[in-house]
């Protein structure tokens, strides 16, 4: 049986995953710069800073999350929202 390795960028947690289970997520996984596991201990111990222009998305049963370059459309929406907030604060 083929196994895939997925590694948490924060704590190094590295479970083996059956390839047959993972294959449908592989394409998405490959788009991520980093992935983070979903354990509470990891979440509490590590700061998951999201660089500008990136977004953290849930992936793989919503347990793991992945960091990827923000979609252009999404980026525009967020940027526009920030501008509106700034305008509101000024006014």
- CA atoms in the 13 A half-sphere facing the CB of 22: 15
Q: d(Cα 17, Cα 79) in Å, to the nearest integer? A: 37
Closest distance to Zn ion from the beta carbon of 16 (Å): 15
Q: Specify the residue, 44 or 73, whose C-beta has the smaller distance to Zn ion.
A: 44
Minimum distance of Zn ion from residue 52's CB (angstroms): 23
Query: Closer to Zn ion at the Cβ: 17 or 78?
Result: 17
Minimum CB separation from Zn ion for residue 2, in Å? 23
Residue (68 or 75) nearer to Zn ion, CB: 68
Residue in 22, 24, 26, 49 with CA at minimum distance from that of residue 36: 49
Query: Using CB under 5 A as the criterion, which residues of the chain lie in contact with Zn ion when the complex forms?
Result: 8, 10-11, 13, 37, 42
If you search the block for the tokens 């953290």, which residue do you land on? 56
3-state secondary structure of 41: helix
């Amino acid at each position: 049986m083929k196994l895939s390795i997925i590694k948490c960028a924060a704590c190094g947690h590295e479970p083996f995953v059956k390839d047959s289970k993972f294959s449908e997520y592989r394409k998405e996984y490959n788009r991520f710069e980093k992935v983070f596991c979903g354990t509470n201990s990891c979440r509490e111990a590590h700061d998951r800073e999201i660089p500008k222009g990136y977004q953290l998305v849930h992936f793989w049963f919503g347990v793991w999350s992945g960091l990827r370059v923000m979609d252009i459309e999404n980026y525009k929406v967020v940027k526009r929202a920030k501008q509106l907030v700034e305008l509101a604060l000024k006014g």
